[in-house]
Amino acid sequence: MKVALFVPCYVDQFYPQVAVASLQLLAKLGVRADFPKQQTCCGQPMANSGCEQEARPVYRHFVETFADYDYVVGPAGSCVYHVRQHFDVIDQTPAVRHVRTATVELFDFITQVLGVTELPGAFPHKVGLHLSCHGQRGLHQANASEMTPVRDGQLRRLLAGLEGLELTELDRNDECCGFGGTFCVSEAGISARMGQDRVADHVRHGTRVLTGGDMSCLMHLEGIVRRQKLPVRVLHAAEIFNGALA
């Protein structure tokens, strides 16, 4: 099985530790992932701004970069969702179709491709899980409160399986954090307010470590946590599992 690690541009630049943790976690699970270094970006910032036309060359470059891999694994639900959902505007060559289905989010890969539904280790902290909307509603990684009162999802289960870890029960389990890509600057006021409300829900219920599967939401929330100097650590779930797994 040939696996490539897809590292979103902002993770590469600002959160290299998340990519390192993803690579190491995969290695511990017996998967050696390559990092094709010609990779750049999935094109989402452009497309979400309305510039899908301009994003097409970026989509094609993404496909060329990863066409030879069986799986393209990324620690970011939103970027993965973009590739799977919105690469429909370029010619659907066999390579494009392959890359669209082969691109999977890290925890989808671990639980569904590798079939690993429990990760050993301990993490004795009060942990708040932030669900990324694109992961939850787009990739169907977790139940949605619009449909059912049952709060369930693969990441929630994996976290709950760690020894000593206590999950925070939030008032609003799956409200959007307000990052939204370019939304975070074009609608800066609303974006900030949404993020502040999300963080407040966590603080109110005792979250000490805020985590999730999508670093873009977490970048935004971390910005708020640090501005407000709150005693909350923000970690990507890959960092937690990689650290917990000997």
Partner 1 sequence: MSQSPTHAQRSDLFLLDAERTTWHDETLWFVREKRDRAVYATPEFQELRQLASDIKDHTLSQLSEYLAQFEAAALANGVRVHWAADAAEHNRIVLGIVRQAGATRVVKSKSMLTEECHLNPHLLAHGVEVIDSDLGERIIQLRDEAPSHVVLPAIHLKKEDVGETFWQHLGTEKGLTDPQQLTEAARQHLREKFLAAEVAISGVNFAVAETGAVVVCTNEGNADLAIGLARVHIACMGLEKLIPRLSDLAVFTRLLTRSATGQPITTYTSHFTRPAEGKEMHVVIVDNGRSQQLGRPDFRASLKCIRCGACMNTCPVYRRSGGHSYDFTIPGPIGAILSPNIDMKQHASLPFASTLCGSCTAVCPVKIDIHTQLYKWRQVLAAEGHIPASKQYSMQLLSRVLARPSLFKAGGAVARLGLRFVPHALTHAPGYNPWAIARELPTPPRQSFRDWYAQQGPTNAPA
Give which of 165, 223, 166 is closest to 199, Cα–Cα. Answer: 223
Nearer CB in complex with partner 1: 189/231: 189
Q: Is 161 in the site for partner 1 (CB under 8 A)?
A: no
Q: What's the closest the beta carbon of residue 158 comes to partner 1, in angstroms?
A: 20
Q: Which of 195, 180, 232, 187 is nearest to 210 (CA)?
A: 232
Please list the residues that pair with 163 across neighbouring strands.
122
Nearer to partner 1, 75 or 128 (CB): 75
Near partner 1 in 28-57, by CB under 8 A: 32, 34-35, 37-41, 43, 45-55, 57
Give the binding range for partner 1 (CB under 8 A) out of 27-35, 66-74, 115-123, 161-169: 27-35
103: β partners: 72
Site for partner 1 in 88-117 (CB under 8 A): none
For residue 140, is it left (φ>0), alpha (ψ between -120 and 50) or beta? left
- The two beta strands, 166-167 and 33-34, are unpaired
Which is nearer to partner 1, 94 or 185 (by Cβ)? 185
**Binders in 169-228 for partner 1, by CB under 8 A:** 172, 175-176, 178-197, 219-220, 222-224, 226-227
Main-chain dihedrals φ then ψ at residue 122, nearest 5 degrees = -125, 145
